[in-house]
Structure 1
Amino acid sequence: MREGGSSHVHGTFHFLLSILQRGRQKHRDVFRLILFSSSLLIRYSVIALQFTSTQSLSVVSLAMDNISEMESVIEESLLSKKSSNAKGGFRTLPFIIANEAFERLASLGLMPNMILYLTRQYGMQTAGATNFLLLWSAVSNLTPFIGAFLADSYVGRYSMIAFGSVASLLGMVLLWLTTLIPMSKPLCEGFLTDSCDNSPTTIQLLILHSSFALMSIGAGGIRSSSLAFGVDQLTKRDKDVGIQESYFSWYYAAVSVSSLIGLTVVVYIQDYMGWAVGFGIPVILMLIATVSFFLASRFYVMAEVKRNMLSGIAQVLVASYKNRFLQLSQETENGTYHQEKGSDILMPTENLRFLNKACIVRNPSQDLTPEGRARNPWNLCTVDQVEDLKALVKVVPIWSTGIIMGVNMSQGSFLVLEASSMNRHITPNFEIPAGSFVSFMIVSLVLWVIIYDRILVPLVSSIRGYPAKLGAKKKMGVGLFTSCLSIASLVIVESIRRNIAIEQGYSDQPEAVVNMSALWLLPRQILNGLAEGSNVIGQNEFFLTELPSSMASLASSLNGLGFSLASLVASFILSVVDRVSGGGGHESWVSSNINKGHYDSYYCLICALSFLNFIYFIYCSKSYGPCKNRRK
């Protein structure tokens, strides 16, 4: 047993070594890139260790010389520390940002080619593999919502990020091991083959599902708390001099850049160096993210756990139900309402009047303490609590319009299949990886934000003579309409691609490359970037404006919750289409053979739903009325 295990490990080692040797001979440029990146990461770690000391101002200046306009503010903030034992401050932010950035880089680097890994290495059908990835996306978007509740109510943000980092690392290691251990996935004709007809066993699926579950849990821990944990590190003085705004900018910039790198560099490595190396890179990145976060543990400010807003919402629902038989007569409405100390809201609004029963004081001596507090918050709530819930209920219809938008955006797996069957050569010697086509959407999004904020708004404002910006609801509407155009363009492109494949005799060869440039997919990606850049930013602006400041954390997570439900809806639609269109011996619209299926018809269905959703949004927008910032 011992000798057999030793020979197995020895054989695995030589197998990995042979892969690396072949990769080094064929792809010296990629190895140089890895060596260069490794040297940068080592330098980053050295600077990070020195950065934790408030006395190493020369190192700080060297590390931050690319943001020279902030040097004076940063240096003053660092010098103002009374001792090296002071906690928080700007020095902790690079560790928090790096943790989130590396996690995004690693996880997004796995997503684009995962459809190919599941179908070719695990023998999954295209529809089943796509449903699996949609479920993973749904859970990964839902866990941050749960993580935010747990962090605010029970464990704290630091513990949540630490737990999430370790969980993500373990999940990626487990997924990486499936590429190293032959017994962890179905036995194919050859270990390096790109196709597999055998089905995975229960144990093999358990290992695969466990890796994705750990990564989803880890994403929930990190993404739910990183941004807020960074704000916890800043003092009031830091916020007054503008460091908080700079932190937000660098946070989102780092996440966007890391996402782009994950969708390009990591995907390139997977395509040209194999799954073992391609999945090993995210493991290394996540390890660096975890170590980076723990390096500064003794310098973090650990904010006290506060009561979550969700408990207040539950109290309003329970109290209004308990008082459901209370008649809201004119005399009752003019009676006493339980007001929060220091609040400007004296009476509840007229909409959703049944909730007003939760804040009516019937007997002050029985309902209130001598200090004016409710004796039982589950029987009597404040007017502010009631109005907070009303505000949340009021935005739900507009929030729901983002679900179909998310369904449209979740078709990325099919995009990879289409791109892989088209000519992706830019030059005779350079070919764009199929999984990297998703990156064009990110580039389009970033460019749209820059053009809108730095060119269009100043130009229109100068012409009109006053500040001119699109309102939050108009941004959402523009995004929804643009998403309709994006999926419509995909209907046309896929219809042409399929006809060309049939004409060239590739009906039974789904992996054949048709004589059609994959650049025809770019209009869809460009429009998708415009759509997401308008709708998602508009959603966040709308929720944060319309919901009270006490619900800011809940408001910031609504968009992610919508995309989580969108993944589930997309999975449901896909399953129904596969079952209905594939009945009676017919080829399914979403067949594993992309040339025999009718993906153009499937996209046409999504396009129709998108246009209906746009009409639904117009109705909801008019019913909602003007936003708060436009009521004055």
Structure 2
Amino acid sequence: MAETESSTRSQLKPFDQEAQPKGDSKQGGWITLPFIAGSMLAMGLAINGTTTNLQIYLIKEYNVESIDAAQIANIVRGSLNLVPVAGAILSDSYFGCFPVILAGAAINVLSFVLFTLSAALPSLRPPHCPSPSAACHHGTPGQLAVLYCAVFLLAIGTGGTRFTMATMGADQFSSSTDQDTFFNWYFVFLYASFVLGHTAIVYIQDGVSWALGFGVCLAATAFSFVMLLMGARYYRMPAPKGGPYSELARVVVASLRKGLINEGAPGHAQYYVGDDAVADSASDRAPSKRLRFLNRAALITASENSVETSGLRRASGWRLSRVQQVEDLKSLLAVFPLWSSGIVVAMSIGVMIGMNILQALAMDRFIGHRFKIPAGSIGVCSLLAFIAITPVLDRVVFPLWCRIAGMPPSALQRVGIGYVLNIAGMVVAALVERRRLSIVHVLHGANEGAGWVTPMSVMWLIIPLGTIGIGEALHLPGNMAFYYLEFPKTLRSLATAMAPLHIAMGFYLSTAFIDVVRRVTAWLPGNINQGRLDNVYWTLAVAVTINFGYFLLCASRYKYQNQSTTMAM
């Protein structure tokens, strides 16, 4: 796993205006950060507070069984990370980032109108049931329609905002150093909003009033919409490049149509460069040798060569692609093996998020004699670890690394270290759960279900969650910087959506994983005190360890597209 980046590792810097994009001193640069950050904070606390507490909302207000609620919540989390891909496509191809973000923010406001109504009007919820069971009434089709419509709109709105905003923020800067710095700040503000959502919003919803909690979320999303509008005159808004995805599809079609054509002897084949220009296979403008099958898309055949040179432009399209289009598709395909290694990591985190809430419900959550930590807030530990460690990494660890190694850690090196910490987090989670179950068995013997709350402090969960959070501070920004650097410029919105895409796949896979575990083992019964959740964590530890080996193999074989990077492994 290795590379050397020409630009030095960026430091978290003050919000100044020294890094204005060249060519326009009035637009772009750090002056845009307060508007972007303010919008992110408000929108993030509303969205994350709601999705974090959705599992508890389903259990307490809709009488859904605990494991089923965890499954539903993971599907929703996966959807919220999958839809941004559609937002990226719309941004890259048709509208640009800002209109997509603004539309997403408006849809989020409408979503929280429905959430607030579902909590405020008793007719939109089933009758309250103290302990969810088969005897409890579940939601009617009409009640569930309102809830799922709110969730659907939330996913659509999040798809247009959360990670498209990362692309718009990076577009405000011309230098890769400032872009890398922005990504660090982006995750700091994003995770700060997550902390507020996990704590303040969850506490209001669970401890005061669900209607008030959703009302606060509604006000926050409205504020986010206003902040976006206030900063509009400062934003740098590059025009969309057209339809890059259709161009990539044309490369595939053209290469398949010419699949049986021989490229000929070296130096004799000619390739279409664009603007009626051609290059032979010996030229430095010819397509690269990797994934050579795709080179046929730019190959000028005898029939195409028989027309006048100006006819090449007319022949281009679904039969003839430009060399740059071929190389863009190659760079996209080359990243996918490394991207896929993040799916298993995201799966393990998805399982832990759902199970940690159930663990918290079965543990002592009191601090002192009066304050009781909401179960949905326990995940804040990983977010706080992320926020706390990021400045330490940028100001202490990475400069020290550079002083010792002579170069800053590469994006993939950061990702690899983050994956190692993910493995450690799964191991620690298994050990903590083993201790919790041992206390249950000592106190209750064979009748483990007799006591739902274990006299073991919920603070024990800080250790695995903190470890996972530190790992995320390395592999999430590292992945996003890697994709943004390696993807074609026309696909920058897709580049920032790649990280949430493997998170989405991971959450969906976590749902399938839990379902398989429930079918083939007795590890996850309705009452986790009667199960073996520690074995689930051990299984995940093995899976992410194997996945890390796969990541090392992919990283060692990867050849960088960006000319400012070289292999160093």
- The 5 A counterparts of 1:39-54 are none
Counterpart position of 1:437: 378
Counterpart position of 1:595: 529
CA distance in 2, matches of 1:526, 1:571: 23
Select which of 543, 551, 556 maps to 1:617: 551
Q: Is residue 536–residue 559 contact of structure 1 (8 Å, CA) maintained in 2?
A: yes
CA distance in 2, matches of 1:435, 1:569: 22
- The 5 A counterparts of 1:32-71 are none
Q: Does 1:361 align with 2:297?
A: no
Counterpart position of 1:607: 541
Shift in alpha-carbon separation, 1:92–1:360, aligned structure 2, 3 A: same
Q: Give 1:272 deviation, angstroms.
A: 2.1
Select which of 272, 277, 280 maps to 1:338: 272
Select which of 54, 58, 63 maps to 1:118: 58
Q: Is residue 589–residue 601 contact of structure 1 (8 Å, CA) maintained in 2?
A: yes
CA distance in 2, matches of 1:72, 1:617: 39
Q: Is residue 399–residue 408 contact of structure 2 (8 Å, CA) maintained in 1?
A: no
Q: Which structure 1 residue ranges, 5 or more long, are not aligned?
A: 1-66, 82-86, 582-587
Query: Which SS does the other structure have where 1:151 is aligned?
Result: helix
CA distance in 2, matches of 1:182, 1:131: 25
CA distance in 1, matches of 2:139, 2:181: 49
Q: Is residue 484–residue 607 contact of structure 1 (8 Å, CA) maintained in 2?
A: yes
Q: Is residue 113–residue 416 contact of structure 1 (8 Å, CA) maintained in 2?
A: no
Q: Does 1:205 align with 2:141?
A: no
Shift in alpha-carbon separation, 1:537–1:313, aligned structure 2, 3 A: same
What are the superposed Cα offsets for residues 276-296 of structure 1, whole Å, 9 maximum, x if unpaired? Answer: 222222112112212333455
Shift in alpha-carbon separation, 1:379–1:448, aligned structure 2, 3 A: same
Query: Which SS does the other structure have where 2:456 is aligned?
Result: coil
Q: Give 1:326 deviation, angstroms.
A: 0.8
Shift in alpha-carbon separation, 1:243–1:524, aligned structure 2, 3 A: closer
Select which of 381, 390, 394 maps to 1:449: 390
Shift in alpha-carbon separation, 1:417–1:158, aligned structure 2, 3 A: same
Q: Give 1:90 deviation, angstroms.
A: 6.7
Q: Does 1:630 align with 2:569?
A: no
Query: Which SS does the other structure have where 2:317 is aligned?
Result: coil
Q: Does 1:314 align with 2:255?
A: no
What are the superposed Cα offsets for residues 420-449 of structure 1, whole Å, 9 maximum, x if unpaired? Answer: 221233433444332222111122122332
RMSD: 3.3
Q: Give 1:618 deviation, angstroms.
A: 2.4
CA distance in 1, matches of 2:139, 2:560: 55
CA distance in 1, matches of 2:139, 2:360: 27
CA distance in 1, matches of 2:176, 2:88: 28
Q: Give 1:359 deviation, angstroms.
A: 0.7
Q: Does 1:388 align with 2:328?
A: yes
CA distance in 2, matches of 1:310, 1:302: 20
Q: Give 1:248 deviation, angstroms.
A: 5.6
Counterpart position of 1:269: 204
Query: Which SS does the other structure have where 1:339 is aligned?
Result: strand
Q: Does 1:403 align with 2:403?
A: no
Q: TM-score, normalised by structure 1?
A: 0.78
Counterpart position of 2:434: 495
Q: Which structure 2 residue ranges, 5 or more long, are not aligned?
A: 1-11
CA distance in 2, matches of 1:74, 1:360: 42
Q: Does 1:174 align with 2:114?
A: yes
Q: Is residue 367–residue 375 contact of structure 1 (8 Å, CA) maintained in 2?
A: no
CA distance in 2, matches of 1:576, 1:69: 49
Counterpart position of 2:41: 101
Higher helix share: 1
CA distance in 1, matches of 2:17, 2:125: 56
Counterpart position of 2:291: 352
Shift in alpha-carbon separation, 1:531–1:151, aligned structure 2, 3 A: same
Shift in alpha-carbon separation, 1:350–1:483, aligned structure 2, 3 A: same
Shift in alpha-carbon separation, 1:452–1:69, aligned structure 2, 3 A: closer
Counterpart position of 1:39: none
CA distance in 2, matches of 1:376, 1:529: 49
Query: Which SS does the other structure have where 1:380 is aligned?
Result: coil
Q: Give the letter aligned to residue 280 of structure 1.
A: G
CA distance in 2, matches of 1:442, 1:368: 62
Counterpart position of 2:153: 214
Which one is further off, 554-563 or 269-278? 269-278
The percent of aligned pairs where both chains have the same amino acid is: 29
Q: Give 1:602 deviation, angstroms.
A: 2.0
Query: Which SS does the other structure have where 1:346 is aligned?
Result: coil
Shift in alpha-carbon separation, 1:437–1:398, aligned structure 2, 3 A: same
Q: TM-score, normalised by structure 2?
A: 0.86
Q: Is residue 96–residue 230 contact of structure 1 (8 Å, CA) maintained in 2?
A: yes
Q: Is residue 374–residue 381 contact of structure 1 (8 Å, CA) maintained in 2?
A: no
Shift in alpha-carbon separation, 1:567–1:388, aligned structure 2, 3 A: same
Select which of 39, 52, 71 maps to 1:131: 71
- The 5 A counterparts of 1:205-604 are 205-230=144-169, 251-295=186-230, 303-330=238-265, 334-340=268-274, 345-363=284-302, 365=305, 370=310, 373=313, 375-410=315-350, 411-462=352-403, 464=404, 467-505=406-444, 507-508=448-449, 512-581=452-521, 588-604=522-538
CA distance in 2, matches of 1:399, 1:623: 14
Q: Is residue 92–residue 490 contact of structure 2 (8 Å, CA) maintained in 1?
A: no
Shift in alpha-carbon separation, 1:390–1:111, aligned structure 2, 3 A: same
Q: Give the letter aligned to residue 630 of structure 1.
A: T
Q: Is residue 472–residue 542 contact of structure 1 (8 Å, CA) maintained in 2?
A: yes
Q: Give the letter aligned to residue 618 of structure 1.
A: L
Q: Give the letter aligned to residue 361 of structure 2.
A: S
CA distance in 2, matches of 1:305, 1:392: 19
CA distance in 1, matches of 2:157, 2:327: 34
Specify the structure having the higher radius of gyration (Cα): 1
Select which of 117, 121, 125 maps to 1:185: 125
Shift in alpha-carbon separation, 1:353–1:401, aligned structure 2, 3 A: same
Q: Is residue 16–residue 30 contact of structure 2 (8 Å, CA) maintained in 1?
A: no
Q: Give 1:224 deviation, angstroms.
A: 4.2
Shift in alpha-carbon separation, 1:445–1:627, aligned structure 2, 3 A: farther
CA distance in 1, matches of 2:166, 2:321: 31
Q: Is residue 92–residue 244 contact of structure 2 (8 Å, CA) maintained in 1?
A: no
Shift in alpha-carbon separation, 1:159–1:395, aligned structure 2, 3 A: closer
Query: Which SS does the other structure have where 1:163 is aligned?
Result: helix
Q: Is residue 126–residue 590 contact of structure 1 (8 Å, CA) maintained in 2?
A: no
Q: Give the letter aligned to residue 252 of structure 2.
A: L
Q: Give the letter aligned to residue 444 of structure 1.
A: A
Q: Give the letter aligned to residue 517 of structure 2.
A: V
